[in-house]
Amino acid sequence: MLVSAKEMLAKAREGKYAVGQFNINNLEWTKAILLTAQECNSPVILGVSEGAGKYMCGMETVAAMVKAMDESLGITVPVALHLDHGSYDGCYKCIKAGFTSIMFDGSHFPIEENVAKTTELVNVSHALGLSIEAEVGSIGGEEDGVVGAGECADPNECKMIADLGVDFLAAGIGNIHGKYPENWAGLSFETLEAVNKAVGELPLVLHGGTGIPDDMIKKAISLGVAKINVNTECQLSFQEATREYIEAGKDLQGKGFDPRKLLAPGFEAIKAKVKEKMELFGSVNKA
Ligand code: 13P
């Protein structure tokens, strides 16, 4: 069932668990996540980066695929189709295509411009029943070629953006996309506590979910994080399972690999990873 992410995240914040956002890249990824959410009776958010959207022939194609798959698989748990780190134009493309949620990443704009563009997109999204996420303090690491330094958000800026009416807020707390370096200082719980205090009941979002130790994840949830984004860990599991399959040379038989069989181990690996995260985040049986 495709829905906005507003209600599922308000419930998660109140119930002290988090809903996972898992990024999709193709049909197999999408199917694996939807089936796992249904099996775990968990709400879920499908994240689509602009790069992944381009790869999948545009946001119209993505929305059509997700809607049809949600119906044909008989998915009854709440599913939000969400633009991840959207540009201003990207947000409008997804609104038009039928996404149920968007993220406007205006963190690289001066704060005044971020405020103006976010206000406009909040009004448009809410008029159409979509939820909207904003970001303050850039999340480090690389996302679709954009490299951020991993700043900690200013709680006053968070309050300013929260007051524009966004439904959930990504605040940088030292988290980065991709693998964490050996010398990573860890999440700044001091920042998270200050942001949480500043924004009241607003659900907070933790990007860069890959590689954050379980105890830090749990502490973050206790301090208002209600949405956790995971991408790299699914990619790594997919890669590992696919490599093992190819190295075993099972299906060659003179005519190459059957693509369906080739992708099957990676598909199962994503399912296992998503289930593991849903259990850790506490969203199982919360649909
Ligand atoms: P990871 O790739 O580090 O899991 O981060 C995903 C993310 O935050 C997508 O927005």
Handedness of CA 258, 260, 261, 267 (dihedral sign): positive
**Which single residue is written with the structure tokens 């540009």?**
87
Is the model more confident about 82 or about 147?
Answer: 82
Tens digit of each residue's pLDDT (9 = 90 or more) over 85-99: 999 999 999 999 999
- Answer whether 49's CB lies under 8 Å from 85's CB: yes
Question: On the CB side of 32, how many CA atoms lie within 13 Å of its CA?
Answer: 25
**Nearest-angstrom CA–CA distance, 24 and 99:** 14
**Which single residue is written with the structure tokens 């044909």?**
72
Report DSSP letters for 133-191, one per residue: EEEES--BEEETTEEE--PBPPHHHHHHHHTTT-SEEEE-BS-BSSSPPTT-----HHH
> Average pLDDT, whole number, for the chain?
93
Please give the positions annotated as active site.
84
Reported as a pLDDT band with limits 50, 70 and 90, residue 253 is: low
Give pLDDT, residue 29.
97
**Nearest-angstrom CA–CA distance, 137 and 117:** 16
Give pLDDT, residue 182.
83
Answer whether 174 contacts ligand 1 (Cβ < 6 A).
Answer: no
Among 115, 106, 173, CA closest to 139? 173
Which conformational region is residue 241 in: left (phi greater than 0), alpha (psi within -120 to 50 degrees), or beta? alpha
Give pLDDT, residue 220.
98
Which residues, including other chains, have CB under 8 Å from residue 37's CB and lie 6 or more apart?
Answer: 43, 44, 75, 77, 79, 274, 278, 287
Is the model more confident about 136 or about 131?
Answer: 131
Reported as a pLDDT band with limits 50, 70 and 90, residue 267 is: very high
Tens digit of each residue's pLDDT (9 = 90 or more) over 141-199: 655 555 455 678 999 999 999 999 999 999 999 999 898 888 888 999 999 999 999 99
Residue 256 pLDDT exceeds 80: no
Answer whether 155 contacts ligand 1 (Cβ < 6 A).
Answer: no
Average pLDDT over residues 211-223: 97
207 CA → ligand 1 middle, Å: 5
- pTM across the whole model: 0.95
Average pLDDT over residues 118-134: 97
Residue 278 pLDDT exceeds 90: yes
Answer whether 6 contacts ligand 1 (Cβ < 6 A).
Answer: no
Average pLDDT over residues 204-222: 97
**Nearest-angstrom CA–CA distance, 108 and 175:** 16
Is the model more confident about 256 or about 91?
Answer: 91
Answer whether 232 contacts ligand 1 (Cβ < 6 A).
Answer: yes
Residue 39 pLDDT exceeds 60: yes
Q: Which of 103, 207, 227, 281 to mutate to test the pocket of ligand 1 (most atoms within 8 A of CB)?
A: 207
% of the chain at pLDDT higher than 70: 94
Give pLDDT, residue 106.
85
Residue 109 pLDDT exceeds 90: no
Q: Which residue has the CA at smallest separation from atom 9 of ligand 1?
A: 229
237 CA → ligand 1 middle, Å: 14
Neighbours of 269 (CB within 10 A): 21
